[in-house]
């Protein structure tokens, strides 16, 4: 299988972390930044690292950006540069574009011009951390829609020693336990006969209000 080719534009904390992780996973990564120091920092990490202004169409063309499977625009505060870069990538026919949005207006414009994925790392991380601060039992949280989530909940002593069948969580709360994390083991799609043990972490999917109800009553 041909290796997927990625380009990361903007090597700040977010873009840099994406570039590093993709490279660690053995992906082909082109790192681009207008700042030479940043580019030097990633020269030994990415497959290629180049200095360039991504708002200059000629620069992106000369890098053959069209041929990349996925381009990530991680320009931070310069919203104008982020939008212009996305627009050029779109016009050049890049198949898959992920852009970091700085605020809601930025996101609106990115949607309009056809960014394929828009991410809000600070906002999303803030939400996740807030959820785990509110409840001692919620360890992690992933929003699926405005009203649905996947949540990791530490099982309380009230659940210990009971099987999923006995607890009847799906019928009583309308939520599903999709996995149980037990030490280093992950039990995916646990059977109804599975007993909950001390230290188990339940990975639960469902409507937020149902998950809240489950958490308040049972955990
Ligand atoms: P973060 O919040 O993720 O740390 P930063 O704002 O620090 O983001 O980083 C954004 C990066 O994008 C910087 O390294 C900056 O040099 C780079 N950048 C900004 N404008 C351009 C541009 N027109 N072309 C290429 N890189 C750019």
Q: 11 and 106 share a domain?
A: yes
Q: 48 and 133 share a domain?
A: no
Q: 19 and 114 share a domain?
A: yes
Look over the chain and give the mean of its residue pLDDT values, rounded to a whole number.
93
Higher pLDDT, 199 or 125: 199
Q: 80 and 25 share a domain?
A: yes
Q: 136 and 171 share a domain?
A: yes
Ligand 1, pocket-test mutation among 7, 8, 9, 10, most atoms within 8 A of CB: 10
Task: Tell me which of 85, 100, 119 is where a domain ends.
Answer: 119
Q: 47 and 153 share a domain?
A: no
Q: 108 and 9 share a domain?
A: yes
Q: 107 and 18 share a domain?
A: yes
CATH number, domain of 188, equals 3.30.70.1450
Q: Is the confidence at residue 1, as pLDDT, over 80?
A: no
Task: Tell me which of 94, 119, 144 is where a domain ends.
Answer: 119
Local confidence band at 219 (pLDDT 50, 70, 90 cut-offs): low
CATH number, domain of 37, equals 3.40.50.720
> In terms of C-beta density within 10 A (0-12 exposed, 13-18 middle, 19 or more buried), how is residue 77 classed?
exposed
ipTM: 0.95
Among 10, 154, 169, CA closest to 75: 10
Q: Is the confidence at residue 134, as pLDDT, over 80?
A: no
CA distance 89 to 93: 6
- Averaged pLDDT for residues 160-164: 94
CA 146 / ligand 1 centre spacing (Å): 30
Q: 197 and 114 share a domain?
A: no
Cβ–Cβ < 8 Å for 158, 182:
no
Among 137, 135, 103, CA closest to 118: 103
Domain count, the chain: 2
CA 14 / ligand 1 centre spacing (Å): 9
Q: Is the confidence at residue 117, as pLDDT, over 70?
A: yes
* Reported pTM: 0.76
**pLDDT score for 85:** 98
Task: Tell me which of 99, 119, 139 is where a domain ends.
Answer: 119
Q: 115 and 10 share a domain?
A: yes
Q: 94 and 136 share a domain?
A: no
Residues with CB under 6 A from ligand 1: 9-15, 32-35, 38, 53-55, 74-78, 81
Segments forming the whole domain that contains residue 42? 5-119
**pLDDT score for 122:** 87
**pLDDT score for 9:** 98
CA 16 / ligand 1 centre spacing (Å): 10
């Amino acid at each position: 299988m041909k290796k997927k080719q990625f380009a990361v534009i903007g090597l700040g904390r977010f873009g840099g972390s994406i570039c590093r992780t993709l490279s660690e996973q053995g992906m082909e990564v082109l790192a681009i930044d207008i700042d030479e120091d940043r580019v030097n920092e990633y020269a030994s990490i990415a497959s290629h690292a180049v200095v360039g202004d991504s708002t200059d169409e000629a620069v992106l063309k000369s890098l053959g950006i069209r041929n990349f499977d996925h381009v990530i625009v991680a320009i931070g505060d310069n919203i104008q540069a982020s939008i212009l870069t996305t627009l050029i990538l779109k016009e050049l026919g890049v198949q898959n574009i992920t852009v970091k949005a700085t605020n809601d207006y930025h996101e609106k414009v990115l949607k309009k011009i056809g960014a394929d994925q828009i991410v809000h790392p600070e906002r999303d991380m803030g939400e996740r951390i807030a959820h785990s601060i509110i409840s001692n039992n919620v360890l992690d949280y992933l929003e699926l829609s405005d009203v649905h989530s996947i949540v990791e909940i530490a099982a309380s002593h009230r659940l210990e020693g009971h099987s999923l069948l006995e607890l009847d969580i799906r019928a009583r709360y309308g939520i599903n336990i999709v996995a149980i994390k037990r030490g280093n083991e992950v039990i995916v799609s646990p059977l109804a006969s599975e007993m909950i043990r001390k230290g188990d972490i339940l990975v639960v999917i469902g409507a937020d209000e149902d998950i809240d109800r489950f958490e308040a009553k049972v955990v």
